[in-house]
Structure 1
Amino acid sequence: MDYRAGFYDSTHPPPPFGHAMLKYFSLEPGYVNLNNGSFGTVPRPVTRFCNELTNKVEANPDRYHRFSFKPLLVDSRERIAQLVGAHTDEVVFVSNATAAINTVMRNLEWNAEDIIIQTTTTWRSTSRVMNYIADTRPYPMLSTFKLAFPSTHKEIVDNFRTHIRGLKNNMVTLEGGRPKGKIVAVIDAIVANPAVYMPWKEMVAVCREEGVMSLVDGAHALGQEVGVNLSEAKPDFWISNCHKWLYSRRGSAVLYVPFRNQHHIRTSIPTSTHYVSPRDPVGGPKAPNFVMQHEWPGAIDFSSYLCIPTSLEFRAWLGGEENINRYCRTTAINGAKRLAEILGTRPMDETPNHELTLNMSNVELPIPANLTPELRTQVNDFLELSLLREYNVFAVAFWHNNTWWVRCSCQVFNELSDFEKLGDALIALCREVKMTILKDHMDASTNGRGTSNGKGFHLNSTSPSR
């Protein structure tokens, strides 16, 4: 079946990016989606492919699960491998980035002298995995590298190197000066909140120079970052979702493990029927059987993996990765400037070449910053609910470095007017926040019991920091 029929004609050029693109997606009329980054947005041809595939599966489940799905899965892995600059048998699919992080971290063999490096902006579920490892025998140490934005790539790389060297200087060493334990650094390719493009390739290079293993959490990378080239960057492990920015169905993610490190991944998570045990009879599959273990994790819906070629064909029709991401990045940068004008604040990324920005941008919100955790939760819940219920627009509000921000994710269907609609909504909602949830806080500041943060807001000096 031609999944393009009725949606687009590959022999004709696409319409201009912007609202003319909305007809290729299933978003409800009037909804302004400036939050593609959280869950992705599936094009209608991809949805059709998945629905038709489901019908074929149900028509003959045995034929599909025993024979038909395997060549389709290999094709998807080949397409992804080409996109990220890897060998086909170095990439496998898992359900999401959290599953991929668990697969790596739970397979590595840990010792009490080992150190795991996270950052202050590591995504919570990833951080929870690292905390679990550190909370479990033999209790490796968990070290946190501080990141506070705004910043610059140079500053991040320099501080990261200093952090690693400080840890190494305090490690127990063996005869000859070699550290007794290992260091594993978990590095974001693109931080989620705040949305920041990290100098991850340079950080991986620092890890290689310092003898540190690198796990790159690229949850937002595929479909947003052009020129990943893993064979050149050489991380020890790399993961990325496909459903956030690459137009595949939820949930699908890529786990990249180069051949040199596949011996570390002894089992898929959950353990597959293709796990190879040292107790197995001689003559069977050889460990770690990396690809086969992940090819069949049990009976699941494979459509989110198998739709990837259809997603990439649609993206090719739109003009390809560079064309898509050039538009989205430009809109993110210009949209942030426009939104900051409306709110009377500033974009987070004020570097000369916008080095921190790909397709997501952050803008300061006019809300007092030094709030208790309880008040921050109330403010966040109110903004989320009100944006969707009252204005039918959404972007992610968050608190970072003692400041409130909003993260805007740009897709090919967004325009500057979407930022203006969001700005109008936020002006009204931030005013309401200060008049309701923060009324007592604002009154205390007005009565002189708080101090100014230099941004026109008065802060309670006794409020705990993050």
Structure 2
Amino acid sequence: MAYKEEKPEFGHAMLKYFALDPSYLNLNNGSYGTTPRPVLEAIRALSDRIEANPDLFHRIDFKPMLDEARSRVAQIIGANRDEVVFVPNASMGVNTVLRNFDWEEGDIIFAFTTTYGSVSRTVQYLTDVPPHPTKCVINLEFPMTHADILETFKQHIHANPAKPNKKRVAVIDGIVSNPGVLLPWKEMVKICKQEGIFSLIDAAHSIGQEVGLDLHKIDPDFWISNCHKWLSARRSCAVLYVPERNQHIIKCSIPTSHTYISPKDRTGPNFVVQFDWNGTIDYSSYITVTDAIEFREWMGGEEKINEYCHSLAIKGGQALAKVLGTSVMDPDGELTLNMVNVALPLPVDFPNMAAAAESMRNAILAKNAFSASYFHNNSWWTRCSAQVWNEIGDFEELGRRWLEVCADIKQQYGFTD
């Protein structure tokens, strides 16, 4: 495998280790991830092994391999192996937790205006159906500081106190999807503990982007992160962390496993086994997380990888803003890890904002490049992901292509400078 070779310097020399079209300008690793070739090779080898004897694999061989992958992930996030299981993606993990609570009228679910769409809709659904817990949405408008976020969070908590014998659950992003900003989620977990609130951390972008995670020390009540975004695993794969003290809350996997035992009949732990097998799936994305971690170790390890990507995000964002003639959302860098948000030179009064957003997406793809674009706080922005194969020149070239897109979009909708 490639990780046995002498590693090249980060930048374009790394592109040979990824299956990207050489002509495609990819600054959107944050959405779907980008699987390295060595991991793809490991998946192909595992797939061949599975197909050679499906019964042997699915009945016997998969379990120790899955346990090893869980062990490796647990080490990275500072957890015990039997506190982590794999699920298809972060949305599934968040849904699993939220749908396992025994909701009552008078319970409160805190979410944010920046909560990821499917998670926000899940909260809405739970409040729409009996017994109708209460939804409390907290408004975040960036740029804003971590201190501002914490103060806003405290204000909403104190304005929505717990009713007698009722629970409160806060769904908190570790790193928001759009804008791609780091929240002070560790401090928010502390606040939740002080206030008697369950903390559910949607850390979709965290593993592989936040260095030195220690969940035992941070101690959230639930934490979910995609391995296919920044940890170099193949999509789709996410890790769900539930500390032992809360595993009784997760009574059932989604879908329900044949190993499900009614809580009234349980005599011991039943958390991990339900997620080991809850229907036939392709286990290769889960099992080859081990290969993804080994590839990252070969590249130099988490600190070296993220030092490069973070520095590139900061410098690349400034370079992109210069080309576009705009500014970065977070000039001080407090909110920025490996994703940077840069304003697009576009009007804010399109007659149909959804149609304009779709036009932007299609137009930048037609330029054989991509970075996520979105509207936030009365401005259009693009979110760029810095990865080990990127260089400053990629941000500058992206800027030139976005300038063409913005000019075309303005002309399409009848705007003149």
| Pairwise TM-score range, normalised by the shorter structure | over 0.9
**1:334 pairs with 312, 315, 321, which one?**
315
The residue number in structure 2 matching 1:462 is none
Maintained 8 Å contact 2:340/2:385: yes
Deviations 1:203-243 (A, max 9, x none): 00000011111000000001111112100001000000000
The residue number in structure 1 matching 2:192 is 207
* Partner secondary structure for residue 405 of structure 1: strand
Maintained 8 Å contact 1:113/1:180: no
Q: Which runs of 5+ in 1 are unaligned?
A: 173-178, 444-456, 458-466
Maintained 8 Å contact 2:175/2:203: yes
| Correspondence 1:15-414 to 2 at 5 A | 15-168=8-161, 171-172=162-163, 179-278=164-263, 286=267, 289-351=270-332, 354-372=333-351, 374=352, 376-389=353-366, 391-414=367-390
Shift in Å, 1:8: 4.3
Deviations 1:258-296 (A, max 9, x none): 00000100000110001012575xxxx635500000001
Shift in Å, 1:404: 0.3
Aligned pairs, number: 417
CA distance in 1, matches of 2:3, 2:148: 46
Maintained 8 Å contact 1:243/1:251: yes
Maintained 8 Å contact 2:30/2:230: yes
Instruction: Output the amino acid matched with 2:178.
Output: N
Residues 279 and 347 of structure 1, relative CA distance in 2, 3 Å threshold:
closer
Residues 278 and 266 of structure 1, relative CA distance in 2, 3 Å threshold:
closer
Maintained 8 Å contact 2:328/2:340: yes
CA distance in 1, matches of 2:34, 2:199: 30
| TM-score normalised according to structure 2 size | 0.98
Maintained 8 Å contact 1:265/1:288: no
* Partner secondary structure for residue 427 of structure 1: helix
Instruction: Output the amino acid matched with 1:247.
Output: S
Maintained 8 Å contact 1:90/1:257: yes
* Partner secondary structure for residue 248 of structure 2: helix
* Partner secondary structure for residue 382 of structure 2: strand
* Partner secondary structure for residue 4 of structure 2: coil
Maintained 8 Å contact 1:267/1:288: no
Maintained 8 Å contact 1:133/1:140: yes
Instruction: Output the amino acid matched with 1:333.
Output: I
Maintained 8 Å contact 1:46/1:310: yes
Deviations 1:26-76 (A, max 9, x none): 001111100000000000010011111111111011111111110000000
Maintained 8 Å contact 1:46/1:248: yes
The residue number in structure 2 matching 1:9 is 4
Maintained 8 Å contact 2:350/2:356: no
Shift in Å, 1:180: 3.3
Residues 222 and 279 of structure 1, relative CA distance in 2, 3 Å threshold:
closer
Larger radius of gyration: 1
Instruction: Output the amino acid matched with 2:251.
Output: R
CA distance in 1, matches of 2:143, 2:311: 19
Maintained 8 Å contact 2:168/2:198: yes
* Partner secondary structure for residue 104 of structure 2: coil
Instruction: Output the amino acid matched with 2:80.
Output: H
Runs of 4+ in 1 over 4 A off after TM superposition: none
CA distance in 2, matches of 1:53, 1:215: 34
Shift in Å, 1:167: 0.6
Instruction: Output the amino acid matched with 2:363.
Output: S
Shift in Å, 1:377: 1.8
CA distance in 1, matches of 2:370, 2:364: 6
| TM-score normalised according to structure 1 size | 0.88
Shift in Å, 1:433: 1.4
Residues 221 and 68 of structure 1, relative CA distance in 2, 3 Å threshold:
same
Deviations 1:374-409 (A, max 9, x none): 2x22222222112122x2111011000111000001
CA distance in 1, matches of 2:264, 2:9: 60
Maintained 8 Å contact 1:345/1:365: yes
Q: Which runs of 5+ in 2 are unaligned?
A: none
The residue number in structure 2 matching 1:448 is none
Shift in Å, 1:370: 3.3
Root-mean-square deviation (CA, aligned residues, Å) is 1.3
CA distance in 2, matches of 1:90, 1:371: 48
